[in-house]
């Protein structure tokens, strides 16, 4: 009798977070996994090195949509995937999250009547200004199997009339990714030495969302807030953010007051995050990682699709003076804060999400 690994499962991805969160799923699928990389993140710093972190060979960028507009990325990816699925039909398609690659994979699977699995399903910001919100809603409603990280996510799906027979609560695959790749204490000490930092003596920041980096005035506000803090601020620059800063002299002057780094490998980023006083970020994944590393994070956004961590590990603050106000309040007694957070469980599961996802895929294709 054929096993799951005898099948062909198309795994469509295109960004760093998708690689991180699907890395263990791909490993568990083994030879069944047919990875299709759209090239939404085309920089090796945001793609190739993350496959290597999971011991996976990076697939070639097979569509190459990086740098195009959202509509072009989705349209070209759908057309290319449609042709590929018609020529070599997989038994299922797996997508993750809320990217343009995910929604394209979902549409192409639906167009070819191929069962669709959506990993990290049911997240909702309820903010229609976010392109990601539309992407994740479309993927959820097209999915035959919605892998919801939490009960909150399952409730969101129920509220949109997605039935329980299409939902499995898996936890979030970030848990096993982080556990596998977090450097040990000795390696983290070496990282601090490399960057001339002290434990809990610096802030780690990341910014890449268009709402924060595309408007020079908004980005200026964020950089001013970071530069005003009384401890070093380490800022690995996403290529999108670096481009914005490089074209405005005032932004470049503010960035010069920070410890600006090239994009970090995932393990190095986790190592610095684990040793930081706190994080300040607009990343969804960082909110999850903070709950596992027991570090607080200022989420610089208008809304979040991860309410499970608000009020414990995260505070949601739009760009403005409240950023530094909150950061300074935490810095006032950061050791006590870390001790308190260490007692709070992460809401994202026990590290079996990837296996539960693969089990769900097996049940779907055998049905």
User: What is the spatial distance between Cα 30 and Cα 24, in angstroms, rounded to a whole number?
Assistant: 10
CA angle, residues 50, 116, 135, in degrees to nearest 5: 70
**Backbone φ and ψ of 169, nearest 5°:** -85, 115
User: What is the spatial distance between Cα 313 and Cα 11, in angstroms, rounded to a whole number?
Assistant: 32
Reference 113, options 134, 74, 144; nearest CA is 144
Q: Bin 121: left if φ > 0, else alpha if -120 < ψ < 50, else beta.
A: beta
Q: Are 279 and 203 in contact (CB under 8 A)?
A: yes
List, in order, residues 6 or more apart from 239 with CB less than 8 Å away.
43, 45, 46, 263
- Decide if 208 is catalytic: yes
Q: Are 99 and 76 in contact (CB under 8 A)?
A: no
Catalytic residue among 134, 158, 195, 208: 208
CA angle, residues 350, 356, 361, in degrees to nearest 5: 160
User: What is the spatial distance between Cα 287 and Cα 289, in angstroms, rounded to a whole number?
Assistant: 6
Positions marked active-site: 208
């Amino acid at each position: 009798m054929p096993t799951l690994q005898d099948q062909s499962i198309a795994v469509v991805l295109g960004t760093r977070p998708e690689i991180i969160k699907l890395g263990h799923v791909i490993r568990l699928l083994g030879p069944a996994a047919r990875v299709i990389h759209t090239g939404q993140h085309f920089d090796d710093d945001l793609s190739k090195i993350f496959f290597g972190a999971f011991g996976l060979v990076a697939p070639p960028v097979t569509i190459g949509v990086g740098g195009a507009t959202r509509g072009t990325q989705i349209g070209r990816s759908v057309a290319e995937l449609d042709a590929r699925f018609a020529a070599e039909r997989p038994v299922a398609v797996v997508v993750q999250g809320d990217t343009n690659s995910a929604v394209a994979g979902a549409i192409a699977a639906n167009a070819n009547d191929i069962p669709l699995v959506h990993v990290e399903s049911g997240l909702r910001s309820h903010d229609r200004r976010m392109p990601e919100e539309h992407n994740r809603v479309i993927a959820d409603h097209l999915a035959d199997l919605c892998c919801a990280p939490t009960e909150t996510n399952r409730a969101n799906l129920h509220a949109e009339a997605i039935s329980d027979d299409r939902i499995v609560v898996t936890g979030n695959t970030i848990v096993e990714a982080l556990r596998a790749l977090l450097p040990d204490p000795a390696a983290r000490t070496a990282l601090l030495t490399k960057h001339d930092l002290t434990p809990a003596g610096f802030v780690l920041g990341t910014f890449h969302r268009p709402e924060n980096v595309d408007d020079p005035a908004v980005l200026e506000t964020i950089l001013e807030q970071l530069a005003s803090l009384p401890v070093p601020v380490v800022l690995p620059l996403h290529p999108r953010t670096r481009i914005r800063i490089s074209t405005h002299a005032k932004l470049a002057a503010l960035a010069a007051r920070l410890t600006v780094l090239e994009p970090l490998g995932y393990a190095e980023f986790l190592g610095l995050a684990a040793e930081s006083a706190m994080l300040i970020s607009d990343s969804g994944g960082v909110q999850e990682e903070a709950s596992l590393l027991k570090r607080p994070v200022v989420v610089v956004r208008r809304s979040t699709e991860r309410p499970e961590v608000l009020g414990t590990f995260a505070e949601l603050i739009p760009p403005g003076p409240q950023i530094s106000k909150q950061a300074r309040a935490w810095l006032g007694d950061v050791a006590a804060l870390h001790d308190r957070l260490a007692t709070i469980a992460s809401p994202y599961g026990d590290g079996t999400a990837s296996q539960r996802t693969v089990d769900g895929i097996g049940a779907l294709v055998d049905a």
